[in-house]
Chains A and B, each alone.
Chain A
Amino acid sequence: MTDISTSDVQHLAQLSSLQLDDHEVEALRVDLGNILGYIDQLSELNTEGVEPTYQVTDLQNVWRDDVIDNYDLGRDELLALAPDADSNQIKVPKVL
């Protein structure tokens, strides 16, 4: 169990763009503490001089021609997926 405070959870929620209610914050405080407590076991491993692994293909630099391909998708089809759209634009609430 790693000690996580309510304000830690609120900070992480902000980083994650999650608007949580108080009940969720408290539940996550307990759960995250337990999960971090478990993964903390990695700190006992000596990894000095070990290269990190970021991917497990043998591939490097897969190139394609610099040609636009719309994958057979049209603008109207994609705009139709938006919760709110008007005049070929996606609408959102006022920003300022």
Chain B
Amino acid sequence: MVKISDFLNLSARENVERALAKAREHEAFHALLSLSEDRALERAAKVDAGEITGRLAGVPFIAKDNFLTLGDTTTAASKFLENFKAPLQATAIEKLEAEGAICIGKANLDAYAHGGSTENSAFGPTKNAHDQARVAGGSSGGSAVVVALDIVPFALGSDTGGSIRQPASFNGVVGVKPTYGTVSRYGVVAMASSTDTIGVLSADVEDAELVMDILSGQDRKDMTTLPDFFVPTLIESPKRIGVIKEFMTEDVDADVRARVTEYIEAMKTKGHTVEEVSLPMVKYALGIYYIVVPAEISSNLGRYDGIRYGARAEASSLGEVYGLSRDQGFMPENKRRIMIGSYVLSSGFFDAYYLQAQKARTLLINEFNKIFESFDVIVGPVAPTPAFKLGENTEDPVKMYLADIMTVPASLAGLPAVSVPAGVTNEGLPVGVQLIGPRKSDALLLALAKEGEK
């Protein structure tokens, strides 16, 4: 697969043209919603003229289409924003551009990043890079597929409950969901503010590390960002690894368990100690997630009113402008989550659902904290199955949500988690292993992943 180093010290124009050609060649996967050819070539000319230099000079990349970018539309894969041209760029894009990287296009996603398969895109699903009859995973499905197809060496994604890690696992690429607050979310379409994170998908762990090094740090435009703590590192002493027992039961696909077990065995041979750990609260994590996150979604998506930006429905009264614009602009999954959010926040239900979920969240976090007193890192699968078939789970929202069961715990606790390729099933479908660490252990997780590549 292509790496960042394959693009350095070459003509930026040729890099961009090569990536654009490859994107067009792979149109059948529907991984991209738009290409920003004009702006990309303009930036490339500046790099080639020596006006822009940096660690990613002339390296093409793709951003999930919920990152605001100049040059083309930012749709969040929704009808609401189908023709929306952002007046500003996300801080993450600005930081990459400042290092000479060039955004060549925008990747498909579940509308507003609500989903685990990219089938909720208003513009049609993305297909898995290894089997076009299967889902790309989601919500950053397009970002994972463009990396797996070698179109670009890395892509940006967002991860609220697994949206980077799960598609990374389904397509056999690296996916990094950092500690909550590591990367500025300014200029990224908000989903659930208490768990939204920005991260990277790449073919190579070292490339992910470089991009995280560039992206991390405080931003005055996002008050939740932490002072920069990310320093790339190497493994110099044996680590204490815990294997999450609840994620290795017989409910989990046998091939997935086998690949994860092999990965863990390889960690042992490198001198790390491995023990089983139990996190009884993870069985409640999905329930907590599908209360807290819809609550925040119902509030964050209140801004889409058809008044200030986005599509406005034909209507004769102001009330109808809101109601019809929102009905036409949102996908069914967006509506489900908004409605669940409205329900759990309603007076009468607030204590039983929202407050109970936030208390349960504390119990989950306490459990993680306790485990990390004795372990440096915990591991398990990223998802209970490899990529499922297109349409397999679309009729049953709860079944679709269950695909997130192994990724939401780290999100609720704000912990860093990395999805690393761990081989394929007998059918040739990629399987990912998930490394989860305490807050701010992002660099350690990547160091372990790097070691695992060798």
Contacts and interface: CB of A to CB of B under 8 A. Distances in A.
B326 A28 contact: no
B308 A82 contact: yes
Interface residues of B, number: 71
Query: Which of A36, A57, A71 gathers the greatest number of chain B CB atoms within 10 Å?
Result: A57
Interface in A41-75: 41-43, 45, 47, 50-59, 62, 64, 71-73
Interface in B330-359: 330, 332, 335-336, 338-344, 346, 352-353, 355-359
A53 B323 contact: no
Interface residues of A, number: 53
A39 B327 contact: no
Nearest to B365: A53
Contacts of A55: 194, 224
A53 B322 CA distance: 32
B71 interface: no
A31 to B, nearest CB: 5
Nearest to B223: A62
B398 A72 contact: no
B317 interface: yes
B274 interface: no
Interface string A82-96: 111000001011110
Contact of A81 (B87, B284, B360): B87
Contacts of A62: 223-224
A92 B305 CA distance: 11
A95 B318 contact: yes
Contact of B287 (A13, A42, A93): A42
A3 to B, nearest CB: 13
B435 to A, nearest CB: 19
A77 B322 CA distance: 23
Given A19-B326, A52-B358, A52-B362, A42 B291 contact: yes
B397 interface: yes
- Please indicate which of the listed interface residues B84, B291, B398 has the most CB atoms of chain A within 10 Å of its own CB: B398
A28 B398 contact: no
B31 interface: no
B235 interface: no
Contacts of A28: 335-336, 339
B397 A35 contact: yes
Nearest to A48: B359
A19 B323 contact: yes
B154 interface: no
A50 B364 CA distance: 11
Contact of B361 (A21, A37, A52): A52
A84 B312 contact: yes
B327 A56 contact: no
A53 B326 contact: no
A31 B287 CA distance: 15
Contacts of A7: none
Contact of A13 (B284, B307, B312, B339): B339
Contacts of A54: 194, 358
B413 interface: yes
Interface string B354-397: 01111111110100000000000000000000000000000011
A19 B397 contact: no
Interface in B217-241: 220-221, 223-224, 226
A19 B287 contact: no
Contact of B224 (A20, A24, A57, A78): A57
Contacts of B355: 52
Contact of B339 (A32, A78, A92): A32
A38 B398 contact: yes
5 contacts: A19-B323, A53-B358, A57-B414, A83-B306, A93-B320
Interface of A: 9, 12-13, 15-21, 24, 27-28, 31-32, 34-43, 45, 47, 50-59, 62, 64, 71-73, 77-78, 81-84, 90, 92-95
6 closest residue pairs by CB, A with B: A19-B323, A56-B414, A52-B358, A83-B312, A47-B359, A81-B309
